[in-house]
Structure 1
Amino acid sequence: MNTSDFWKNFRLGEELHIAGSFIYNGLRRFHELELFDNSDELFEFLYNLSVGIERLLKIAIVLHEHSEVGDQETLEKSLITHNHLDLLERVRNHVEIKFGKPHNDLLQLLGTFYKTLRYDRFSLNSVYEGHKEVSAILSFLNKHLQVEISKKNLPFATLNEDRYRAFIRRTVLAISQTMYTVIDEQARSLGLYTYELRYGSKAESVFLRKVNISDEDVLWKELLIFFMNSDPKTGYFKFLKGIEPLKFDPGLIRDYLDCFKSDASKAEVMDELEHHYGEMDKSDRKQRFEIIGFIGAQGVYFDDEGDIEEDNQ
C-alpha cells in the first residue's frame, strides 16, 4: 500500500470516526437542552455540529480530488476553510447531492457560527447585541417549523420541545448520512476501506444506526426498572444490595433521574453527594470509594449461586 492509499484508508478513516463523534455530541447536547436561554449550551451544540460536518465534507473532498499527479500542498491549503456551503459545492462538482432548504440553511448557519459568531464575545460590540447563537437557532426553527419562538418572552424561559429536537435530528442526520454515502461509494470505487466504522462507535450510531437520543433515554429507564425489580440472586446484585445507600432526599427523585439523561443535571446533584461524603470520617469515605470502584470495573466478577452449586456437583 502506497503512502496516499494509507492516508486515505486509515487517517481519513480516523477522521470519519472523529467527525461522527462530534456530530453525535452535538445531537446529544441539543437533545439535553431544556431552555434556549443559555448561550454556552447552544454554543456547545453548534460547535460540535459545525466541526463534525466540516470534517465530514473534507473527507469527501479528499477522496474525490486527491490524485498522485495533483499538487498535494495546494489541496491541503484549500481545505483550510470553515465555509460549509463552499465545501458542499466542491463535493457537488463530483456527485449529485440534493438537499432541501433546511439542510442548506443549517450548513450556512454552521459556517457563520464557526467563522464569526463563536468569536463575537471577544468584541466590544457584543455589549450591545449578545446571545447571537440563541437568536440564530430560534430564527432557523421559526423559519422552517413556522413557529414563533422568541427571546422576548421574559421573564418566562424559552423552552426546548420534542418537535424541535426531532427536526434538528432529522436535518442533521440527512446531511450526515448523505455525506457518508458519498464517502462510502467513492472509497469503494478506489478500493479503499475508509468507510469502515467501528461497531458501537458514535460514528456508527450517526452514519448507520440513525441514532435517536430519545431511544437511548428509553434504554436507561428500562435498565433502571430492571435493577430495581430484580431479585438479588446473582453475585453482582447481592454486592449492589449489600451497599448501604446514602441518604438522598426521596422528594428530589426527579432531579436525581435527570442525572442519567443530562450531564448538565449532574452538577446540580454533585453538591449533595459531596455533602454526604463530607459527613463521613476519612476512613469510611476511603472504604466506600474502594467499594464503589468495583461497580462496572473491568475484570471484576462475582460468583453466582448457580455457578457455585454447579461447581459443587
Structure 2
Amino acid sequence: MFIDEIWDFKSINMAHELGIAGEFIYDSARKAMALRNLYNDYELNSILYNGAVGIERLQKIYLCLSIPNPMDKSTVPECLKKHNHNELEKHVKEYSGKCISANGRRLLGLFSEYYNHYRYANYVPGYNSKKLKSLFIGFLKKQNGKFDFEEPCAAVQFEPFKRYYINELGKTANYYYSLIDEKAREIGTYTYELDSYSNASRVFWSTQRRSLYKQLILEQEAVKELLIHLYKDHGDSGVLKLFNEMHSLEFDDALINDYLADLCGGNVNDSLIDWIDDLHEEIEDNDKRKERHELLSLIGNVSVLFDDWDDADF
C-alpha cells in the first residue's frame, strides 16, 4: 500500500467510520432514553447492540490510526478481527499510554459480555431472556445497589438509571473520540471531522459542553417548546394558517400526555397510530379523505415554502 493510500484509508475511511460509530451510539442512547421498564427483551438488545457496536468501532478506528500500515498483517493486532472490547482496550492503552475510567471499563465489560454471549442467545435452545435483564441490571446497580428492579416503578424513579447508562456511554464515546482526535492531528489526517448536522456530532461535539443525557433532554425540550409555540401562537405564517384552517380530529384528552411522552422520545405511540388510522377510515367522502392526506403531507415537508402562501385560501 502506497503512502497516499494509507493516508486516504486513515483520513477518509476512518472518518466515515467515525460518523457510523456516532450514529450507533446515539441510537443506543435514544433507545435508553425511551425506556420505561426493563421487561422487553427487544429494547434491551437494541440498546446494548447499538452501544456495543458503536464503541467497538471507535476502538478499532484508533488502532487503525495508530498502526503504521493497516494492510501489513504482521503489525495488525488479532483483536481487530474479533469482537472483544476489553482486549481492544488493552491495545488502545498500549498505543495511547492512557487509561479509561473505572466506569468505562465496566461498560466495556458489559458490551463485551453482551456481544459475545447474548447477541444471538435466542438461537440457543433453553435460553432465558431474564439473563439479559440481569446482565444490564448488574451494570446499573453500580449506581445504586439498593434499588429493587423487580418492583414496578414510576418513570421518575427509573430516570436516574437511564441517566447513568447514557452518561457513561457518552463519557466512553468521548474518551475514544479524544484519542482519535489527538492521534489524527499527530499524523496529519482529518479523521476527527464530522457532518455538523449528524447525530454523531451530537455525541462527540455537543457533549463537550453538556452530558449526553442533558443533550437528549435538550432535544426533548426543543420539541416541547415548538409544540407550545404552535399551540399558543396565532400568527399569520403559512404553516400556522394551515393548522388553524384544518379541523381537528377527536382525541382522548387523558392520553395526550402519553402521546407527547413518546413523541418527545422520538417515537410515535402505537395506540395513537391505530386511532388516527381508524379516524381517517371514518371519513366517508373519498375526496375529503384524499384532501386531508395531501394537506398533512405539506406539514414538515421542507420543500414547501409556506411563507409564499401567507395569503393562500386553504
- Taking structure 1 as the reference length, the TM-score comes to 0.89
Write the letter of the residue equivalent to 1:150.
Answer: F
**How many Å separate the matches in 2 of 1:48 and 1:74?**
29
Q: Is the 8 A contact 1:149 1:158 kept in 2?
A: no
Further displaced range: 88-97 or 46-55: 88-97
- Tell me by how many angstroms 1:78 deviates: 4.6
**Aligned partner (choices 44, 57, 60) of residue 59 of structure 2:** 57
Q: Which residue of 2 aligns with 1:164?
A: 161
Q: Which residue of 1 aligns with 2:263?
A: 260
Write the letter of the residue equivalent to 1:289.
Answer: H
Aligned residues: 301
For structure 1, which runs of at least 5 residues remain unmatched after alignment?
309-313
Q: Which residue of 2 aligns with 1:192?
A: 189
Indicate the percent of aligned positions where both proteins have the same amino acid: 30
Q: Is the 8 A contact 1:233 1:304 kept in 2?
A: no
Q: Which residue of 1 aligns with 2:33?
A: 31
Write the letter of the residue equivalent to 2:298.
Answer: F
Deviations along 1:194-216, one digit per CA (max 9) or x if unpaired, are 10111121111011111321121
Deviations along 1:6-51, one digit per CA (max 9) or x if unpaired, are 1111111111000000001101111110011111111110011001
Q: Is the 8 A contact 1:255 1:265 kept in 2?
A: no
Q: Which residue of 1 aligns with 2:139?
A: 140
- Tell me by how many angstroms 1:144 deviates: 3.7
Further displaced range: 76-85 or 164-173: 76-85
Q: Which residue of 2 aligns with 1:131?
A: 130
The alpha-carbon distance between structure 1 residues 81 and 67, as it changes in their structure 2 partners (threshold 3 A), is same
- Tell me by how many angstroms 1:149 deviates: 3.0
**How many Å separate the matches in 1 of 2:35 and 2:87?**
30
Q: Is the 8 A contact 1:50 1:114 kept in 2?
A: yes
Q: Which residue of 2 aligns with 1:311?
A: none
Q: Is the aligned partner of 1:298 residue 2:312? A: no
**How many Å separate the matches in 1 of 2:216 and 2:294?**
32
What secondary structure does 1:2 align onto? helix
Q: Which residue of 1 aligns with 2:20?
A: 18
- Tell me by how many angstroms 1:63 deviates: 0.2
What secondary structure does 2:165 align onto? helix
**How many Å separate the matches in 1 of 2:80 and 2:100?**
22
Q: Which residue of 1 aligns with 2:293?
A: 289
Instruction: Give the alignment of 1:83-122 within 5 angstroms.
Output: 83-122=84-123
**How many Å separate the matches in 2 of 1:252 and 1:47?**
32
**How many Å separate the matches in 2 of 1:132 and 1:92?**
31
- Tell me by how many angstroms 1:72 deviates: 4.5
Write the letter of the residue equivalent to 1:124.
Answer: P
What is the root-mean-square deviation in Å for CA atoms of aligned residues? 2.2
- Taking structure 2 as the reference length, the TM-score comes to 0.88
- Tell me by how many angstroms 1:302 deviates: 2.3
Q: Which residue of 1 aligns with 2:279?
A: 276
Write the letter of the residue equivalent to 1:199.
Answer: S
